[in-house]
Structure 1
Amino acid sequence: MTPPPGWYRDPHAPHLERWWDGTAWTEHRRAPEAAGPVPPSPDGVSGRAKAVALTTAGAVLVAAIVTGAVFLGGDDDPRTRTGPTATGSAPAPQTSSPPPSSSEPPADDPGVVEDPLNGITFPLLDGWVRPENVAEDDVVMTTDGTYDCPGEGSVCRHGLVISRTVTGADETSPELLAKEDVSEAADEAFHEDTIGRRPYGGLESHQVVKAGPVAVAGRAGYLVRWRVTTAEGPGGYVQSLVFPSSVGTESPVLVRYVFDAGEDGPPLADMDRITEGIRSVTGAGSGGVGSSIGPAD
Protein backbone atom coordinates (compact mmCIF):
# COMPACT_ATOMS: atom_id res chain seq x y z
CA MET A 1 0.00 0.00 0.00
CA THR A 2 1.23 3.48 -0.83
CA PRO A 3 1.20 6.00 2.05
CA PRO A 4 -0.99 9.07 1.46
CA PRO A 5 0.59 12.52 0.81
CA GLY A 6 1.99 14.17 3.89
CA TRP A 7 5.04 15.19 5.94
CA TYR A 8 7.25 12.25 7.04
CA ARG A 9 10.71 11.86 8.54
CA ASP A 10 13.30 12.28 5.76
CA PRO A 11 15.09 8.87 5.38
CA HIS A 12 18.28 10.67 4.30
CA ALA A 13 18.10 13.49 6.88
CA PRO A 14 16.28 12.16 9.98
CA HIS A 15 16.40 15.57 11.66
CA LEU A 16 14.06 16.95 9.00
CA GLU A 17 10.62 16.18 7.65
CA ARG A 18 10.04 15.74 3.90
CA TRP A 19 6.90 15.97 1.77
CA TRP A 20 5.70 12.66 0.26
CA ASP A 21 3.27 13.37 -2.67
CA GLY A 22 1.69 9.92 -2.58
CA THR A 23 4.01 8.38 -5.19
CA ALA A 24 7.50 9.84 -4.66
CA TRP A 25 9.57 12.10 -2.38
CA THR A 26 9.63 15.78 -3.37
CA GLU A 27 12.40 18.31 -2.61
CA HIS A 28 10.29 20.09 0.04
CA ARG A 29 11.72 19.76 3.56
CA ARG A 30 11.09 21.41 6.92
CA ALA A 31 12.15 21.22 10.53
CA PRO A 32 9.86 19.05 12.69
CA GLU A 33 7.09 21.06 14.28
CA ALA A 34 5.23 20.28 17.45
CA ALA A 35 1.68 19.25 16.68
CA GLY A 36 -0.72 21.99 17.78
CA PRO A 37 -4.42 21.76 18.55
CA VAL A 38 -6.36 20.00 15.85
CA PRO A 39 -8.40 22.70 14.02
CA PRO A 40 -12.16 22.32 13.82
CA SER A 41 -13.28 20.45 10.72
CA PRO A 42 -15.35 22.33 8.14
CA ASP A 43 -17.75 19.37 7.92
CA GLY A 44 -18.85 19.90 11.49
CA VAL A 45 -16.92 17.03 13.05
CA SER A 46 -15.39 18.05 16.37
CA GLY A 47 -11.68 18.52 16.78
CA ARG A 48 -11.55 15.62 19.28
CA ALA A 49 -13.33 13.30 16.83
CA LYS A 50 -10.99 14.38 14.04
CA ALA A 51 -7.94 13.67 16.25
CA VAL A 52 -9.27 10.18 17.05
CA ALA A 53 -9.80 9.55 13.34
CA LEU A 54 -6.28 10.73 12.51
CA THR A 55 -4.80 8.51 15.24
CA THR A 56 -6.69 5.48 13.94
CA ALA A 57 -5.67 6.21 10.35
CA GLY A 58 -2.04 6.60 11.41
CA ALA A 59 -2.08 3.19 13.12
CA VAL A 60 -3.55 1.57 10.01
CA LEU A 61 -0.90 3.32 7.86
CA VAL A 62 1.99 2.05 10.01
CA ALA A 63 0.61 -1.51 9.93
CA ALA A 64 0.24 -1.37 6.16
CA ILE A 65 3.78 -0.06 5.69
CA VAL A 66 5.28 -2.73 7.94
CA THR A 67 3.37 -5.47 6.09
CA GLY A 68 4.47 -4.07 2.72
CA ALA A 69 8.11 -3.94 3.82
CA VAL A 70 7.99 -7.65 4.79
CA PHE A 71 6.74 -8.65 1.35
CA LEU A 72 9.13 -6.33 -0.54
CA GLY A 73 12.26 -7.75 1.11
CA GLY A 74 15.02 -6.78 3.48
CA ASP A 75 17.01 -3.60 3.88
CA ASP A 76 19.09 -4.40 0.77
CA ASP A 77 16.04 -4.04 -1.48
CA PRO A 78 15.96 -0.37 -2.65
CA ARG A 79 12.17 -0.57 -3.01
CA THR A 80 11.81 -0.50 0.77
CA ARG A 81 13.44 2.94 0.88
CA THR A 82 11.48 4.84 -1.76
CA GLY A 83 8.71 5.99 0.54
CA PRO A 84 7.97 6.72 4.21
CA THR A 85 8.68 3.73 6.45
CA ALA A 86 7.40 2.61 9.81
CA THR A 87 10.34 4.29 11.52
CA GLY A 88 9.41 7.69 10.11
CA SER A 89 7.46 10.23 12.09
CA ALA A 90 3.68 10.23 11.88
CA PRO A 91 2.12 12.79 9.51
CA ALA A 92 1.71 16.17 11.17
CA PRO A 93 -1.77 17.76 11.16
CA GLN A 94 -2.13 19.73 7.94
CA THR A 95 -2.34 23.41 8.82
CA SER A 96 -1.69 24.81 5.36
CA SER A 97 -1.99 23.84 1.73
CA PRO A 98 0.56 21.15 0.78
CA PRO A 99 3.34 22.11 -1.64
CA PRO A 100 2.72 21.19 -5.28
CA SER A 101 3.85 17.75 -6.36
CA SER A 102 7.02 17.82 -8.44
CA SER A 103 7.11 16.03 -11.78
CA GLU A 104 10.89 15.70 -11.58
CA PRO A 105 12.53 12.57 -10.13
CA PRO A 106 14.05 13.05 -6.67
CA ALA A 107 17.85 13.18 -6.58
CA ASP A 108 18.01 10.07 -4.32
CA ASP A 109 15.86 7.98 -6.67
CA PRO A 110 17.77 4.74 -7.41
CA GLY A 111 16.46 4.91 -10.98
CA VAL A 112 18.27 8.13 -11.86
CA VAL A 113 21.81 9.51 -11.90
CA GLU A 114 22.29 13.16 -10.95
CA ASP A 115 24.72 15.62 -12.50
CA PRO A 116 24.32 18.37 -9.85
CA LEU A 117 26.81 20.76 -11.43
CA ASN A 118 24.76 20.94 -14.61
CA GLY A 119 21.43 20.69 -12.76
CA ILE A 120 20.16 17.58 -14.56
CA THR A 121 19.39 13.92 -13.93
CA PHE A 122 19.66 10.92 -16.26
CA PRO A 123 17.49 7.80 -16.20
CA LEU A 124 19.45 4.70 -15.18
CA LEU A 125 18.21 2.10 -17.66
CA ASP A 126 18.46 -1.67 -17.34
CA GLY A 127 22.02 -2.80 -18.04
CA TRP A 128 23.50 0.57 -16.96
CA VAL A 129 25.25 1.39 -13.69
CA ARG A 130 26.88 4.32 -11.94
CA PRO A 131 30.55 4.64 -12.90
CA GLU A 132 33.18 2.75 -10.91
CA ASN A 133 36.92 2.64 -11.65
CA VAL A 134 36.48 4.63 -14.87
CA ALA A 135 39.49 6.50 -16.25
CA GLU A 136 37.48 8.85 -18.46
CA ASP A 137 36.44 12.21 -17.00
CA ASP A 138 32.83 13.29 -16.36
CA VAL A 139 31.25 9.86 -16.92
CA VAL A 140 27.73 9.71 -15.42
CA MET A 141 26.94 6.07 -16.27
CA THR A 142 28.39 2.98 -17.97
CA THR A 143 27.17 -0.40 -19.08
CA ASP A 144 27.66 -3.11 -16.51
CA GLY A 145 30.99 -4.94 -16.72
CA THR A 146 34.10 -4.76 -18.92
CA TYR A 147 35.80 -6.88 -21.58
CA ASP A 148 39.24 -7.21 -23.16
CA CYS A 149 39.72 -4.56 -25.84
CA PRO A 150 40.05 -5.98 -29.38
CA GLY A 151 43.18 -3.86 -29.98
CA GLU A 152 45.67 -2.27 -27.60
CA GLY A 153 44.72 -1.51 -24.03
CA SER A 154 43.52 -3.42 -21.01
CA VAL A 155 39.74 -3.37 -20.75
CA CYS A 156 36.90 -1.66 -22.62
CA ARG A 157 33.26 -0.97 -21.84
CA HIS A 158 30.32 -1.48 -24.16
CA GLY A 159 28.77 1.91 -23.35
CA LEU A 160 29.52 5.28 -21.72
CA VAL A 161 27.52 8.47 -21.15
CA ILE A 162 29.51 11.62 -20.38
CA SER A 163 28.13 15.01 -19.22
CA ARG A 164 30.14 18.25 -19.43
CA THR A 165 29.65 21.99 -19.65
CA VAL A 166 31.04 23.94 -22.60
CA THR A 167 32.95 27.01 -21.37
CA GLY A 168 35.51 29.34 -22.88
CA ALA A 169 33.86 29.29 -26.30
CA ASP A 170 32.24 32.24 -28.04
CA GLU A 171 29.91 29.90 -29.88
CA THR A 172 26.68 29.00 -28.05
CA SER A 173 24.65 27.42 -30.84
CA PRO A 174 23.77 23.82 -29.85
CA GLU A 175 23.83 22.79 -33.52
CA LEU A 176 27.32 24.12 -34.24
CA LEU A 177 28.75 22.88 -30.94
CA ALA A 178 27.34 19.37 -31.49
CA LYS A 179 28.71 19.21 -35.05
CA GLU A 180 32.15 20.37 -33.87
CA ASP A 181 32.30 17.95 -30.92
CA VAL A 182 31.22 14.67 -32.57
CA SER A 183 34.54 14.29 -34.43
CA GLU A 184 36.52 14.72 -31.22
CA ALA A 185 34.18 12.31 -29.45
CA ALA A 186 34.82 9.65 -32.11
CA ASP A 187 38.60 10.09 -31.92
CA GLU A 188 38.72 9.88 -28.13
CA ALA A 189 36.39 6.88 -27.96
CA PHE A 190 37.54 4.73 -30.89
CA HIS A 191 40.82 6.04 -32.30
CA GLU A 192 43.41 6.70 -29.60
CA ASP A 193 43.16 7.00 -25.83
CA THR A 194 44.87 9.58 -23.61
CA ILE A 195 48.11 7.56 -23.33
CA GLY A 196 48.47 6.78 -27.03
CA ARG A 197 46.99 3.29 -27.17
CA ARG A 198 44.43 2.21 -29.77
CA PRO A 199 41.90 -0.06 -28.03
CA TYR A 200 40.06 -0.69 -31.32
CA GLY A 201 43.05 -0.52 -33.66
CA GLY A 202 42.21 3.01 -34.77
CA LEU A 203 39.28 4.77 -36.45
CA GLU A 204 38.90 4.07 -40.19
CA SER A 205 35.68 5.80 -41.33
CA HIS A 206 32.38 7.27 -40.17
CA GLN A 207 28.84 7.83 -41.40
CA VAL A 208 26.29 10.35 -40.11
CA VAL A 209 23.20 8.33 -39.19
CA LYS A 210 21.19 10.97 -37.32
CA ALA A 211 21.28 14.74 -36.85
CA GLY A 212 18.71 17.34 -35.92
CA PRO A 213 17.05 19.46 -33.23
CA VAL A 214 15.74 17.84 -30.07
CA ALA A 215 14.00 19.05 -26.89
CA VAL A 216 15.95 18.19 -23.74
CA ALA A 217 14.52 18.96 -20.29
CA GLY A 218 12.32 21.64 -21.87
CA ARG A 219 15.25 23.25 -23.70
CA ALA A 220 15.97 23.40 -27.43
CA GLY A 221 19.01 21.27 -28.22
CA TYR A 222 20.71 19.54 -31.13
CA LEU A 223 22.31 16.12 -31.64
CA VAL A 224 24.63 14.47 -34.16
CA ARG A 225 25.14 10.68 -34.26
CA TRP A 226 27.92 8.85 -36.13
CA ARG A 227 28.38 5.17 -36.97
CA VAL A 228 32.12 4.53 -36.90
CA THR A 229 34.21 1.72 -38.40
CA THR A 230 37.36 0.61 -36.57
CA ALA A 231 40.35 -1.47 -37.63
CA GLU A 232 39.55 -4.10 -35.00
CA GLY A 233 36.27 -5.03 -33.38
CA PRO A 234 32.71 -4.25 -34.55
CA GLY A 235 33.06 -0.48 -34.44
CA GLY A 236 30.48 1.63 -32.69
CA TYR A 237 28.37 4.76 -32.39
CA VAL A 238 29.10 8.18 -30.96
CA GLN A 239 26.59 10.95 -30.35
CA SER A 240 27.13 14.57 -29.28
CA LEU A 241 24.10 16.26 -27.73
CA VAL A 242 24.18 19.96 -26.76
CA PHE A 243 21.49 22.04 -25.05
CA PRO A 244 21.48 25.14 -22.79
CA SER A 245 21.44 24.53 -19.07
CA SER A 246 18.31 25.62 -17.23
CA VAL A 247 20.31 26.90 -14.24
CA GLY A 248 23.04 29.41 -13.56
CA THR A 249 24.49 31.15 -16.60
CA GLU A 250 22.71 28.71 -18.96
CA SER A 251 26.04 27.58 -20.38
CA PRO A 252 25.67 24.84 -23.02
CA VAL A 253 25.61 21.31 -21.64
CA LEU A 254 27.37 18.64 -23.73
CA VAL A 255 26.34 15.00 -23.37
CA ARG A 256 28.43 12.39 -25.21
CA TYR A 257 27.24 8.85 -25.89
CA VAL A 258 29.71 6.07 -26.78
CA PHE A 259 28.20 2.67 -27.74
CA ASP A 260 29.83 -0.49 -29.09
CA ALA A 261 28.12 -1.71 -32.26
CA GLY A 262 28.56 -5.45 -31.58
CA GLU A 263 25.89 -7.82 -30.37
CA ASP A 264 27.06 -7.26 -26.79
CA GLY A 265 26.70 -3.48 -27.09
CA PRO A 266 23.73 -1.63 -25.58
CA PRO A 267 20.59 -1.16 -27.74
CA LEU A 268 20.99 1.90 -29.96
CA ALA A 269 17.51 2.95 -28.82
CA ASP A 270 19.01 3.60 -25.36
CA MET A 271 20.52 6.82 -26.77
CA ASP A 272 17.03 8.17 -27.44
CA ARG A 273 15.59 6.79 -24.21
CA ILE A 274 18.31 8.43 -22.11
CA THR A 275 17.93 11.73 -23.98
CA GLU A 276 14.16 11.71 -23.50
CA GLY A 277 14.62 10.98 -19.79
CA ILE A 278 16.96 13.88 -18.99
CA ARG A 279 15.31 16.19 -16.45
CA SER A 280 16.15 19.42 -14.62
CA VAL A 281 16.93 18.99 -10.95
CA THR A 282 14.14 20.49 -8.86
CA GLY A 283 15.38 23.26 -6.62
CA ALA A 284 18.80 23.47 -8.35
CA GLY A 285 21.01 26.23 -7.03
CA SER A 286 22.82 28.94 -8.90
CA GLY A 287 25.36 26.52 -10.36
CA GLY A 288 25.25 25.10 -13.86
CA VAL A 289 28.94 25.09 -14.73
CA GLY A 290 30.33 21.64 -14.15
CA SER A 291 33.45 20.07 -15.58
CA SER A 292 34.31 22.34 -18.47
CA ILE A 293 35.78 21.83 -21.90
CA GLY A 294 37.42 24.38 -24.10
CA PRO A 295 36.21 25.42 -27.51
CA ALA A 296 36.38 22.72 -30.15
CA ASP A 297 39.10 23.04 -32.78
Structure 2
Amino acid sequence: MTPPPGWYRDPHAPHLERWWDGTAWTEHRRAPEVAGPPVPGPPSAGNPASGRAKAVALTTAGVVLVAAIVTGAVALRSGDDTDGAQTDTGPTYYTAPPTTEPPTTEPTSPTTEEPSADDPAVVVDELNGITLPLPEGWVRPKYVSESDVVMTTDGTYDCPGDGGFCHRGRVVSRTMPTSGGETSPETLAKRDIPEAADAAYDRDLLDKRPYGGIESHELVKSGPVAVAGRAGYFVRWRVRTAEGPGGYVQSTVFPSRVGTESPVCVRYYFDAGADGPPLSDMDLITKGIRSVSDPDGGGGVGNSVGPDKP
Protein backbone atom coordinates (compact mmCIF):
# COMPACT_ATOMS: atom_id res chain seq x y z
CA MET A 1 0.00 0.00 0.00
CA THR A 2 1.35 3.39 -1.02
CA PRO A 3 1.07 5.97 1.80
CA PRO A 4 -0.83 9.15 1.05
CA PRO A 5 1.01 12.46 0.66
CA GLY A 6 2.29 13.92 3.89
CA TRP A 7 5.25 14.66 6.18
CA TYR A 8 7.25 11.58 7.20
CA ARG A 9 10.62 10.92 8.82
CA ASP A 10 13.42 11.50 6.31
CA PRO A 11 15.15 8.12 5.59
CA HIS A 12 18.49 9.91 5.11
CA ALA A 13 18.14 12.36 8.01
CA PRO A 14 16.01 10.78 10.77
CA HIS A 15 16.06 14.01 12.79
CA LEU A 16 14.05 15.76 10.03
CA GLU A 17 10.71 15.26 8.27
CA ARG A 18 10.42 15.13 4.48
CA TRP A 19 7.43 15.59 2.19
CA TRP A 20 6.14 12.48 0.40
CA ASP A 21 3.91 13.46 -2.54
CA GLY A 22 2.25 10.05 -2.77
CA THR A 23 4.65 8.58 -5.30
CA ALA A 24 8.13 9.96 -4.52
CA TRP A 25 10.12 12.05 -2.04
CA THR A 26 10.38 15.78 -2.66
CA GLU A 27 13.19 18.11 -1.59
CA HIS A 28 11.04 19.76 1.11
CA ARG A 29 12.30 19.09 4.67
CA ARG A 30 11.44 20.49 8.10
CA ALA A 31 12.10 19.90 11.78
CA PRO A 32 9.57 17.55 13.45
CA GLU A 33 6.59 19.31 15.00
CA VAL A 34 4.55 18.38 18.04
CA ALA A 35 1.44 16.30 17.47
CA GLY A 36 -1.44 18.33 16.06
CA PRO A 37 -3.68 18.68 13.00
CA PRO A 38 -1.97 17.35 9.89
CA VAL A 39 -0.33 19.94 7.66
CA PRO A 40 -1.52 19.69 4.07
CA GLY A 41 1.88 20.07 2.45
CA PRO A 42 4.93 22.22 1.88
CA PRO A 43 4.29 25.80 0.79
CA SER A 44 4.60 26.11 -2.96
CA ALA A 45 2.87 27.88 -5.84
CA GLY A 46 1.36 24.70 -7.20
CA ASN A 47 0.11 23.21 -3.96
CA PRO A 48 -3.76 22.97 -3.84
CA ALA A 49 -5.23 24.82 -0.86
CA SER A 50 -8.87 23.73 -0.78
CA GLY A 51 -10.92 20.52 -0.98
CA ARG A 52 -8.04 18.28 -2.12
CA ALA A 53 -5.90 19.41 0.84
CA LYS A 54 -8.76 18.60 3.25
CA ALA A 55 -9.21 15.16 1.71
CA VAL A 56 -5.51 14.45 2.01
CA ALA A 57 -5.56 15.55 5.67
CA LEU A 58 -8.53 13.32 6.52
CA THR A 59 -7.00 10.35 4.74
CA THR A 60 -3.70 10.82 6.57
CA ALA A 61 -5.42 11.09 9.95
CA GLY A 62 -7.43 7.91 9.29
CA VAL A 63 -4.36 5.94 8.34
CA VAL A 64 -2.49 7.08 11.44
CA LEU A 65 -5.46 6.14 13.67
CA VAL A 66 -5.70 2.64 12.19
CA ALA A 67 -1.95 2.14 12.52
CA ALA A 68 -2.09 3.16 16.21
CA ILE A 69 -4.91 0.68 16.96
CA VAL A 70 -2.89 -2.26 15.62
CA THR A 71 0.23 -0.98 17.50
CA GLY A 72 1.91 -0.08 14.24
CA ALA A 73 3.86 3.04 13.50
CA VAL A 74 4.75 5.09 10.49
CA ALA A 75 8.41 4.52 9.68
CA LEU A 76 10.79 4.88 6.82
CA ARG A 77 12.43 1.91 5.19
CA SER A 78 14.94 1.56 2.40
CA GLY A 79 14.90 -1.30 -0.06
CA ASP A 80 17.75 -3.02 -1.90
CA ASP A 81 18.01 -3.00 -5.68
CA THR A 82 19.39 -5.88 -7.67
CA ASP A 83 23.05 -4.75 -7.51
CA GLY A 84 23.09 -4.22 -3.75
CA ALA A 85 22.74 -0.40 -3.78
CA GLN A 86 19.99 0.99 -1.55
CA THR A 87 17.17 3.02 -3.11
CA ASP A 88 14.33 4.96 -1.47
CA THR A 89 10.96 3.21 -1.71
CA GLY A 90 9.04 5.67 0.43
CA PRO A 91 7.52 5.26 3.88
CA THR A 92 6.04 1.87 4.76
CA TYR A 93 3.77 0.74 7.63
CA TYR A 94 4.93 -2.02 9.95
CA THR A 95 4.64 -2.84 13.63
CA ALA A 96 7.22 -2.23 16.37
CA PRO A 97 9.69 -0.14 14.31
CA PRO A 98 13.25 -0.09 15.68
CA THR A 99 14.33 3.18 17.20
CA THR A 100 16.54 5.42 15.11
CA GLU A 101 17.55 7.70 17.98
CA PRO A 102 21.29 7.76 18.75
CA PRO A 103 22.40 6.41 22.16
CA THR A 104 22.22 8.98 24.93
CA THR A 105 25.00 7.51 27.10
CA GLU A 106 28.69 7.44 26.29
CA PRO A 107 30.61 4.18 26.66
CA THR A 108 32.66 4.04 29.81
CA SER A 109 36.38 3.58 29.54
CA PRO A 110 38.06 0.83 31.58
CA THR A 111 39.80 2.15 34.67
CA THR A 112 43.22 1.11 35.79
CA GLU A 113 44.46 0.96 39.35
CA GLU A 114 47.91 1.10 40.76
CA PRO A 115 49.20 -2.18 42.24
CA SER A 116 48.47 -2.44 45.95
CA ALA A 117 49.13 -4.69 48.89
CA ASP A 118 45.95 -6.56 47.92
CA ASP A 119 47.56 -7.60 44.65
CA PRO A 120 47.25 -11.41 44.47
CA ALA A 121 50.93 -11.58 43.44
CA VAL A 122 52.15 -9.86 46.62
CA VAL A 123 52.12 -10.87 50.29
CA VAL A 124 52.51 -8.15 52.94
CA ASP A 125 54.17 -8.69 56.32
CA GLU A 126 53.14 -5.53 58.17
CA LEU A 127 54.91 -6.52 61.39
CA ASN A 128 58.34 -6.67 59.77
CA GLY A 129 57.62 -4.02 57.14
CA ILE A 130 58.23 -6.12 54.02
CA THR A 131 56.37 -7.43 51.00
CA LEU A 132 57.14 -10.77 49.35
CA PRO A 133 56.29 -11.87 45.80
CA LEU A 134 53.90 -14.79 45.44
CA PRO A 135 55.30 -17.09 42.71
CA GLU A 136 53.14 -19.30 40.55
CA GLY A 137 51.93 -22.32 42.52
CA TRP A 138 52.04 -20.47 45.86
CA VAL A 139 49.10 -19.13 47.87
CA ARG A 140 48.43 -17.23 51.05
CA PRO A 141 48.44 -19.54 54.08
CA LYS A 142 45.48 -21.87 54.64
CA TYR A 143 45.13 -24.71 57.14
CA VAL A 144 48.40 -23.95 58.95
CA SER A 145 48.94 -23.76 62.70
CA GLU A 146 51.98 -21.45 62.64
CA SER A 147 51.06 -17.78 62.94
CA ASP A 148 54.09 -16.45 61.05
CA VAL A 149 53.63 -18.42 57.82
CA VAL A 150 53.23 -15.94 54.94
CA MET A 151 52.70 -18.37 52.04
CA THR A 152 52.46 -22.08 51.19
CA THR A 153 52.34 -24.17 48.07
CA ASP A 154 48.82 -24.74 46.85
CA GLY A 155 47.17 -27.86 48.25
CA THR A 156 48.13 -30.41 50.92
CA TYR A 157 48.95 -34.12 51.13
CA ASP A 158 48.91 -36.78 53.83
CA CYS A 159 52.05 -36.47 55.95
CA PRO A 160 54.24 -39.61 55.64
CA GLY A 161 54.89 -39.85 59.40
CA ASP A 162 52.51 -39.28 62.30
CA GLY A 163 49.61 -38.26 60.07
CA GLY A 164 47.93 -34.97 59.43
CA PHE A 165 48.23 -32.75 56.38
CA CYS A 166 51.50 -31.38 55.03
CA HIS A 167 52.42 -28.72 52.46
CA ARG A 168 55.14 -29.20 49.86
CA GLY A 169 56.49 -25.75 50.67
CA ARG A 170 56.12 -23.02 53.29
CA VAL A 171 57.66 -19.59 53.79
CA VAL A 172 57.85 -17.99 57.25
CA SER A 173 58.68 -14.36 58.13
CA ARG A 174 59.58 -13.60 61.74
CA THR A 175 61.41 -11.05 63.86
CA MET A 176 64.68 -12.42 65.15
CA PRO A 177 65.37 -12.37 68.91
CA THR A 178 68.62 -10.51 69.55
CA SER A 179 69.76 -12.07 72.82
CA GLY A 180 73.00 -10.56 74.04
CA GLY A 181 72.64 -7.68 71.61
CA GLU A 182 73.75 -9.79 68.63
CA THR A 183 72.60 -8.26 65.32
CA SER A 184 75.00 -9.79 62.78
CA PRO A 185 72.89 -11.38 59.98
CA GLU A 186 75.52 -14.10 59.52
CA THR A 187 75.60 -15.07 63.19
CA LEU A 188 71.81 -14.99 63.48
CA ALA A 189 71.26 -17.06 60.31
CA LYS A 190 73.69 -19.75 61.46
CA ARG A 191 72.02 -19.76 64.87
CA ASP A 192 68.53 -20.03 63.39
CA ILE A 193 69.00 -22.83 60.84
CA PRO A 194 68.91 -25.77 63.33
CA GLU A 195 65.74 -24.42 64.93
CA ALA A 196 64.19 -23.89 61.48
CA ALA A 197 64.99 -27.47 60.45
CA ASP A 198 63.45 -28.89 63.63
CA ALA A 199 60.31 -26.78 63.22
CA ALA A 200 59.87 -27.96 59.62
CA TYR A 201 60.82 -31.65 59.65
CA ASP A 202 61.22 -32.91 63.22
CA ARG A 203 58.43 -32.16 65.72
CA ASP A 204 55.40 -29.96 65.10
CA LEU A 205 53.47 -27.83 67.59
CA LEU A 206 51.48 -30.89 68.71
CA ASP A 207 54.73 -32.77 69.44
CA LYS A 208 54.08 -35.13 66.54
CA ARG A 209 56.56 -36.13 63.86
CA PRO A 210 54.90 -35.66 60.45
CA TYR A 211 58.06 -36.92 58.72
CA GLY A 212 59.21 -39.40 61.36
CA GLY A 213 61.94 -37.06 62.61
CA ILE A 214 65.25 -35.79 61.20
CA GLU A 215 67.97 -38.38 60.63
CA SER A 216 70.69 -36.16 59.15
CA HIS A 217 71.41 -32.84 57.49
CA GLU A 218 74.11 -31.29 55.32
CA LEU A 219 75.05 -27.75 54.38
CA VAL A 220 74.09 -26.97 50.78
CA LYS A 221 75.35 -23.39 50.61
CA SER A 222 75.52 -20.14 52.54
CA GLY A 223 76.71 -16.60 52.04
CA PRO A 224 75.90 -12.89 51.99
CA VAL A 225 72.74 -11.75 50.23
CA ALA A 226 71.13 -8.37 49.51
CA VAL A 227 67.52 -8.24 50.65
CA ALA A 228 65.41 -5.12 50.08
CA GLY A 229 68.58 -3.10 49.76
CA ARG A 230 70.08 -4.34 53.04
CA ALA A 231 73.08 -6.61 53.57
CA GLY A 232 71.93 -9.98 54.85
CA TYR A 233 73.08 -13.58 55.10
CA PHE A 234 71.55 -16.98 54.29
CA VAL A 235 72.21 -20.63 55.22
CA ARG A 236 70.61 -23.57 53.35
CA TRP A 237 70.48 -27.18 54.63
CA ARG A 238 69.42 -30.46 53.01
CA VAL A 239 67.49 -32.46 55.61
CA ARG A 240 66.85 -36.21 55.46
CA THR A 241 63.96 -37.67 57.43
CA ALA A 242 62.81 -41.11 58.58
CA GLU A 243 59.67 -40.86 56.45
CA GLY A 244 59.19 -39.15 53.11
CA PRO A 245 61.78 -37.46 50.89
CA GLY A 246 62.96 -34.91 53.47
CA GLY A 247 63.55 -31.40 52.30
CA TYR A 248 65.52 -28.16 52.12
CA VAL A 249 65.54 -25.52 54.85
CA GLN A 250 66.92 -21.99 54.50
CA SER A 251 67.28 -19.15 57.01
CA THR A 252 67.73 -15.68 55.49
CA VAL A 253 68.42 -12.84 57.94
CA PHE A 254 68.60 -9.10 57.16
CA PRO A 255 67.94 -5.81 58.99
CA SER A 256 64.46 -4.37 58.68
CA ARG A 257 64.06 -0.87 57.24
CA VAL A 258 61.17 0.10 59.51
CA GLY A 259 60.70 0.71 63.22
CA THR A 260 63.65 -0.33 65.37
CA GLU A 261 65.21 -2.08 62.34
CA SER A 262 65.26 -5.37 64.24
CA PRO A 263 66.69 -8.27 62.20
CA VAL A 264 64.13 -10.16 60.14
CA CYS A 265 64.41 -13.87 59.34
CA VAL A 266 62.65 -15.38 56.34
CA ARG A 267 62.61 -19.18 56.56
CA TYR A 268 62.02 -21.49 53.60
CA TYR A 269 60.77 -25.08 53.98
CA PHE A 270 60.79 -26.98 50.66
CA ASP A 271 60.08 -30.71 50.32
CA ALA A 272 62.71 -32.59 48.32
CA GLY A 273 61.79 -34.91 45.46
CA ALA A 274 59.91 -34.42 42.23
CA ASP A 275 56.78 -33.10 43.96
CA GLY A 276 58.58 -30.38 45.91
CA PRO A 277 58.76 -26.77 44.70
CA PRO A 278 61.85 -25.77 42.69
CA LEU A 279 64.74 -24.47 44.77
CA SER A 280 64.93 -21.51 42.40
CA ASP A 281 61.77 -20.20 44.11
CA MET A 282 63.88 -19.49 47.21
CA ASP A 283 66.07 -17.09 45.25
CA LEU A 284 63.06 -15.71 43.36
CA ILE A 285 61.22 -14.82 46.56
CA THR A 286 64.35 -13.42 48.26
CA LYS A 287 65.11 -11.26 45.23
CA GLY A 288 61.57 -9.87 45.22
CA ILE A 289 61.40 -8.88 48.90
CA ARG A 290 60.80 -5.14 49.28
CA SER A 291 60.33 -2.69 52.16
CA VAL A 292 56.77 -1.43 52.57
CA SER A 293 58.23 2.07 52.93
CA ASP A 294 60.23 1.76 49.70
CA PRO A 295 58.47 -0.63 47.31
CA ASP A 296 60.78 0.39 44.44
CA GLY A 297 63.94 -0.14 46.48
CA GLY A 298 66.59 -2.65 45.61
CA GLY A 299 66.60 -6.32 46.34
CA GLY A 300 68.69 -9.07 44.89
CA VAL A 301 70.48 -12.35 45.37
CA GLY A 302 74.23 -12.71 45.00
CA ASN A 303 77.50 -13.76 46.56
CA SER A 304 78.53 -10.21 47.38
CA VAL A 305 76.76 -7.01 48.32
CA GLY A 306 77.74 -3.41 48.76
CA PRO A 307 77.88 -1.43 51.99
CA ASP A 308 74.83 -1.66 54.21
CA LYS A 309 72.39 1.11 53.31
CA PRO A 310 71.18 3.44 56.05
TM-score, normalized by length of structure 2? 0.58
Partner of 1:230: 241
The Cα shift of 1:122 comes to 0.4
- Runs of 4+ aligned residues of structure 1 deviating over 2 Å after TM superposition are none
- Output one character per residue of 1:161-189: Cα deviation in whole Å (capped at 9) or x when no partner: 00001135221000000001001111111
The alignment yields a C-alpha RMSD, in angstroms, of 2.0
Distance in 1 between residues matched to 2:264 and 2:283, nearest whole Å: 17
Partner of 2:141: 131
Distance in 2 between residues matched to 1:250 and 1:209, nearest whole Å: 29
Native 8 Å contact 1:107 1:281 kept in 2? no
Partner of 2:116: 106
Partner of 1:270: 281
3-state SS in 2 of match to 1:193 = coil
Partner of 1:240: 251
| Mapping 1:57-206, distance limit 5 Å | 63-65=108-110, 83-84=112-113, 106-169=116-179, 170-206=181-217
The Cα shift of 1:110 comes to 1.8
Higher RCO, 1 or 2 (CA under 8 Å, sep at least 6)? Answer: 1
| Residue segments in structure 2 that go unaligned for 5+ positions in a row | 1-104, 296-310
Distance in 2 between residues matched to 1:283 and 1:212, nearest whole Å: 25
Distance in 2 between residues matched to 1:159 and 1:235, nearest whole Å: 12
3-state SS in 2 of match to 1:271 = helix
Distance in 2 between residues matched to 1:186 and 1:153, nearest whole Å: 19
Distance in 2 between residues matched to 1:264 and 1:213, nearest whole Å: 29
Q: Which has the higher Rg, Structure 1 or Structure 2? A: 2
Native 8 Å contact 2:258 2:293 kept in 1? no
The number of aligned residues is 190
Question: Identity percentage over the alignment?
Answer: 67
3-state SS in 2 of match to 1:225 = strand
| Residue segments in structure 1 that go unaligned for 5+ positions in a row | 1-58, 67-82, 85-101, 285-297
TM-score, normalized by length of structure 1? 0.61
